[in-house]
Chains A and B, each alone.
Chain A
Amino acid sequence: MSGGTLDPTFAREDPALRNGRVRIAVLSALFALLFGAIGFRLLHLAPEERELVTPAASAPEPERRRPDLLDRNGTLLATDILVPSLAADPQLIADPKRTAERLARLVPGLDAAGLERRLVQAKAAGRRFLWIDHRITPAVQRAVLDAGLPGVVIRRADHRVYPKGAAAAHLVGFVDIDNRGLAGFEHALDFGRAKSLRSREEIVLSLDLRVQEVVREELGRAFREFRALGACGIVLDVATGELLALVSLPDFDPNFAARARAEQRKNRCTGGSYELGSLFKVLSLAAALETGKVRTHQRFDIPPALVIGRHRIRDVHPARRPYSVAEIFSHSSNIGTALAVFTAGGAEPLRAMLARVGLFERAPIELLEVARPQLQKNWPDVVTATVSFGHGIAVSPLRFAEAVASLVGEGTRIDATLLARPPGSVATSGPRVASPRTVEELRWMMWLTVAEGTAKRAAVPGYLVGGKTGTADKAGRGGYRRGAVIASFVGVFPVHNPRYLVLAMLDEPQATRASGGTRFGGQIAAPVVAAIISRIGPLLGVPPTAPVYEARYRERWQALKAQAALSRPEVHLAAVDARP
């Protein structure tokens, strides 16, 4: 170490001393680090205000709000609004007795003794939250706040409201006190097919409130006029499968659902199964035509009664001449329908058709109260015959409407939906249920029924309407009941290229002068459908039907009549296997 710039003392320093200094330096650095860390941690731990407040007072946002429900035009059908409720933190209440007494004086209908007991119990159990009263009025809220009771808090919670009241009660449904769906779409939103939509802000339903209200008004008029037990009205978009209206009567106000009777809550359109009677001829004659073995102009001898085994089938209006298939349809002959079905091959083609249009399954609509069709296991001839005119098989009106829409629309399977499709979209390309030829024949026969048959009262000026009437005897204990019927009508318009289907059904209507003293679907339900169509057609922007289409249909009808005058019936009873 010669002549260096280093401190001579350092060079000369004892190595032990040097070691000691290094250790001290290292240690102090370590301590500095440690204290620094502790200091920072302390800063981090500085208490936040919200931790100083009681859990009850800092009302956390209610978990997940239910989506608003809108109709297809954006009208609000269901929404959540914040409504104050009264709660307490029992741990902060020093004197439960006094608090309970003072509250009971401020809140109407509150029992002081009961509240005191609940407060004491909750306090003992160490709970920090207790509901006192749900949904208080603003006046009560102010009174409670003014009283300044420690431990008593106002907590606002979502409360579901239905601004349109009873207008769409069965479709929209309602919720329980905890905002969980109990019926209708609300139910499906929590527990059914619409579950995946639960997290949305809003859901646009296929429903059109204007149409819904028209149906409700017109159906309600008939429901009261004929003093029916119940009624169902449906409007279905044939092109897209969207349900525009669904009315079940009697109905109720979903805002006060708890007060409604079971009778009112029942959704007759989806949750009830009915033997729809002659309406079914749409399906059975479509099945017969689809086989190609039966044609609309083909004529049948109609005997006064058709005997199959022990059973005897009759017509309400006995035919006095041979009927073509088109007339069997338009005059609604039970015997003729059964004969046509047997000519086409009996049970097999009929079953196949019913299966194709979905009558053996539940409707896949976004509701939970959907009835499964009720049908027989085995189909001997007599069952085939009765099913062909709608007895011995019970389906929901909605399921039936879907089946008819499938057949007279594009001839492809249509399942109704409650959710609005994007505008301009056409129904999914469902499996084909009938050939275009059958579809065309069916439309024509439905027109004939309105023009010349049992449904003359369904005619609407401006629109070409087609349809089918139904008057079904109601089954009771030990057979069919006299005088108790289901009167119904299913109509489509404009029938040459159907856009909308309208169905009306009345359960046990009473004959009045307005129905000509009868209970026929053509007298009771057909006028309802006509009134609905004449009001919703312009509303939905359906242009009036050009007269050329009616002229064409009428031409065809004249041709068939001319042909009938010249020829003899082509099919005789002898040709039918069903003969006893």
Chain B
Amino acid sequence: MSPAPAILSGLLALVTAAAVFQLKHAVRERERELAAIRQAIAEERARIRTLRADIAWLARPERIAAHAKELALEPMRVDRLIRIEELPDALHLELAGRTLVVELADGDAIELRLKPLLLPQAHKGARP
């Protein structure tokens, strides 16, 4: 029997072993990289959480209230709200932008501006 097949299979085994070892090594390298990245992500996340907590702490109501004056903040008031029915009609708003040129008897021309008209009965639509 010739030794060729035995040598061949031996070589094959060696090559395979080497390849597998190489692969294993590369995978481990990648794993180490991955672990490092994961660690970095975890660190960043922890930092973000701490910073978010910091922001929330700095924006706590009593602190904002203490700075309200310098920030020109003031409480909302109900008289600053307006019901939709109290708004002037869309037509009025549209006309408000236009000017009307009127020619007077003596030949002069003057421009008249239309003013939006607030209806006295502000909430006529309220009754269902």
Number of residues on chain A facing chain B (CB within 8 A): 45
Known contacts: A28-B6, A80-B49. The answer to whether A165 contacts B60 by CB under 8 A is yes
Please, which residues of chain B bring their CB within 8 A of the CB of A549?
Answer: 126
Is residue A81 contacting chain B, with contact meaning CB distance below 8 A?
yes
> CB within 8 Å of B: which of A408-462?
460-462
Known contacts: A32-B9, A544-B78, A544-B83. The answer to whether A39 contacts B17 by CB under 8 A is yes
Please, which residues of chain A bring their CB within 8 A of the CB of B20?
Answer: 40, 43
Is residue B105 contacting chain A, with contact meaning CB distance below 8 A?
no
Q: Contact at B57–A546, with CB atoms within 8 Å?
A: no
Q: Contact at B78–A534, with CB atoms within 8 Å?
A: yes
A460 to B, closest residue via Cβ: B78
Please, which residues of chain A bring their CB within 8 A of the CB of B77?
Answer: 538
> CB within 8 Å of B: which of A68-117?
75-77, 79-82
Q: Which of B21, B28, B52, B84 contacts A76 (CB 8 A)?
A: B52
Please, which residues of chain A bring their CB within 8 A of the CB of B46?
Answer: 81-82, 156
Q: Contact at A546–B83, with CB atoms within 8 Å?
A: yes
Q: How far is the CA of A222 from the CA of B47 in the complex (A)?
A: 41
Known contacts: A43-B21, A462-B79, A538-B76. The answer to whether A82 contacts B50 by CB under 8 A is yes
Q: Contact at A463–B78, with CB atoms within 8 Å?
A: yes
Please, which residues of chain A bring their CB within 8 A of the CB of B53?
Answer: 76, 79, 81, 161, 163
Is residue A535 contacting chain B, with contact meaning CB distance below 8 A?
yes
Q: Which of B6, B24, B28, B81 contacts A544 (CB 8 A)?
A: B81
Known contacts: A46-B24, A546-B83. The answer to whether A81 contacts B126 by CB under 8 A is no
Q: Contact at B81–A543, with CB atoms within 8 Å?
A: yes
B13 to A, closest residue via Cβ: A36
> CB within 8 Å of A: which of B47-100?
49-50, 52-57, 59-62, 75-85
Q: Contact at A548–B6, with CB atoms within 8 Å?
A: no
Is residue A21 contacting chain B, with contact meaning CB distance below 8 A?
yes
Q: How far is the CA of A567 from the CA of B81 in the complex (A)?
A: 44
Is residue A213 contacting chain B, with contact meaning CB distance below 8 A?
yes
Number of A-B contacts (CB under 8 A): 94
Q: Contact at A167–B52, with CB atoms within 8 Å?
A: no
Q: How far is the CA of A207 from the CA of B54 in the complex (A)?
A: 21
B20 to A, closest residue via Cβ: A43
> CB within 8 Å of A: which of B18-49?
20-21, 24, 28, 32, 42, 46, 49
Q: How far is the CA of A165 from the CA of B53 in the complex (A)?
A: 11
Q: How far is the CA of A75 from the CA of B64 in the complex (A)?
A: 14
Q: How far is the CA of A534 from the CA of B80 in the complex (A)?
A: 12
Please, which residues of chain A bring their CB within 8 A of the CB of B4?
Answer: none
> CB within 8 Å of B: which of A327-379?
none
Q: Using A43-B20, A43-B24, A161-B53 as known contacts, list a sample of 17 further A-B pairs with CB atoms less than 8 Å apart, ordered by residue number in A.
A: A21-B1, A28-B6, A35-B13, A40-B20, A43-B21, A76-B55, A79-B52, A79-B53, A164-B56, A164-B60, A460-B78, A461-B78, A461-B79, A538-B76, A544-B82, A546-B123, A548-B127
| 6 residue pairs, one from A and one from B, having the closest CB atoms | A163-B56, A462-B78, A538-B76, A76-B56, A213-B61, A163-B57
Instruction: Mark A residues whose CB is within 8 Å of B.
Output: 21, 25, 28, 32, 35-36, 39-40, 43, 46, 48-49, 61, 75-77, 79-82, 156, 161, 163-165, 167, 209-210, 213, 460-463, 534-535, 537-539, 541, 543-544, 546-549
Give 12 pairs: A residue, B residue, CB < 8 Å, sorted on A.
Answer: A32-B9, A36-B13, A43-B17, A46-B24, A61-B42, A76-B53, A82-B46, A165-B60, A534-B78, A538-B76, A543-B82, A546-B126
